[in-house]
């Protein structure tokens, strides 16, 4: 697989990474551990070198899974993980707030190193901005971890352009991660221009719209009680019925390219900027292979115009998060 570079510090990764969250969290019961380990190692065989996890995915268990799977391949991969959420002291699966106090950041880093079975974290993101802690203090704390050799690169997730600038002024930000896809294009207004100006890479999560852009869902789809999408506004029956029209339009374009709608969605992201690296997630080898194939799908100017026209004729219904989730983005 072709490589791309995130940030001016030159963090080189595969053009497509692998988001690992869904292997153990958010989308129903966790996948079989042995199968997930095999899948992670298969990704490396297919050319994926960039893996994304977080303390809160599980919680903690996703980092342990990624650590076990990739320990034998550590010198071939780049591992990103995250800090910044406050976990439920009673052991609940959902975070109970945010916490980016410098002392807490360092505690999370030490614990993550053990779970990941490594001596350094390649990319350490603040998972969500903490309004109670100045971003300058956060950047300073991660900078200390970098100088200690425990972290290689600093990242932010779902941060506003203004916050990114303030953090970058204290310690270089290598990458910013936010939701970005054919049905979530908010970063285009302010974040992407700021990243281009500052020389910061961009890592879109949910690049397939939490599976929606693959065409896997219909208005009749039912989600399990422990599936995040059951409560997500865009996946409610009425919204789904409206939004499916977009996928139908993408399928028609993809068919002309000999591709799937999911591959088209990923190729569209790759065509936006050379410093964009999407991280689609999956639990299936067939989907992994399909996603990897998107890196070889070249889109012409005419293709991109056709996609833009299709998007412009279909209004997406529903917020990308519920109200609680929206309070923690773009701060």
Mean pLDDT by 10 residues, the chain (331 residues): 96 98 90 97 98 94 97 98 91 85 98 98 98 98 98 98 98 98 95 98 97 88 86 88 89 96 98 98 97 97 95 84 74 74
Cα–Cα distance between 48 and 299 in angstroms, integer?
Answer: 21
Instruction: Indicate the pTM of the whole model.
Output: 0.95
Q: Which domains does the chain have, with CATH numbers?
A: 3-213+260-299 (3.20.20.100)
| Encoded tokens for 266 | 């990923």
Per DSSP, 88 falls in state P
The answer to whether the beta carbons of residues 198 and 205 sit under 8 Å apart is no
- Rounded alpha-carbon distances, angstroms, from residue 98 to 26, 129, 246, 327: 18, 8, 35, 11
Catalytic hit among 57, 125, 180, 205:
57
Picking from 241, 260, 257, 263, the residue whose alpha carbon sits closest to that of residue 317 is: 241
Task: Give residue 241's pLDDT.
Answer: 87
Cα–Cα distance between 176 and 197 in angstroms, integer?
Answer: 13
**Longest CA–CA separation in the chain, Å:** 54
| Encoded tokens for 14 | 């595969």
| Encoded tokens for 82 | 């995250």
Q: Please state whether beta strands 78-83 and 121-126 pair in parallel, antiparallel, or not at all (unpaired).
A: parallel
Residue 193: CB atoms within 10 Å: 12
SS3 call for 205: strand
Annotated catalytic residue 57: yes
Residue 267: CB atoms within 10 Å: 23
Give me the helix-helix angle, 285-293 and 261-272, nearest 10°: 40
């Amino acid at each position: 697989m072709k490589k791309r570079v995130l940030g001016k510090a030159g963090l080189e990764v595969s053009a497509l990474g692998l988001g690992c969250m869904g292997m153990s969290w958010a989308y129903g019961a966790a996948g079989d551990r042995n199968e997930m380990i095999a899948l992670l190692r298969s990704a490396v065989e297919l050319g994926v070198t960039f893996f994304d996890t977080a303390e809160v995915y599980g919680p903690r268990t996703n980092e342990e899974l990624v650590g076990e799977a990739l320990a034998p391949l550590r010198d071939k991969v780049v591992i990103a993980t995250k800090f910044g959420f406050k976990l439920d002291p009673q052991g609940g699966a959902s975070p109970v707030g945010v916490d980016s106090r410098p002392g807490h950041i360092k505690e999370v880093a030490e614990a993550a190193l053990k779970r990941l079975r490594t001596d350094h974290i390649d990319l350490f993101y603040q998972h969500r901005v903490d309004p109670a802690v100045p971003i300058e203090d956060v950047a300073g704390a991660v900078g200390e971890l970098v100088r200690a050799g425990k972290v290689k690169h600093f990242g932010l997730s779902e941060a506003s352009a203004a916050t990114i600038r303030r953090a970058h002024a204290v310690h270089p930000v290598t990458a910013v991660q936010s939701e970005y896809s054919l049905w979530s294009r908010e970063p285009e207004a302010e974040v992407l221009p700021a990243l281009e100006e500052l020389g910061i890479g961009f890592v879109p999560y949910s690049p397939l719209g939490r599976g929606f852009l693959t065409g896997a869902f219909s208005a009749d789809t039912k989600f399990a009680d422990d599936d995040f999408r059951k409560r997500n506004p865009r996946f409610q029956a009425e919204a789904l019925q409206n939004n499916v029209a977009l996928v139908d339009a993408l399928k028609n374009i993809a068919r002309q390219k000999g591709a799937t709608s999911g591959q088209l969605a990923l190729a569209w992201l790759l065509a936006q900027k050379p410093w964009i690296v999407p991280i689609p997630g999956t639990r299936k080898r067939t989907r992994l292979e399909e996603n990897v194939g998107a890196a070889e799908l070249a889109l012409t100017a005419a293709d991109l115009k056709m996609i833009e026209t299709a998007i412009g004729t279909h209004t997406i219904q529903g917020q990308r998060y519920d109200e609680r989730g929206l309070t923690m983005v773009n701060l």
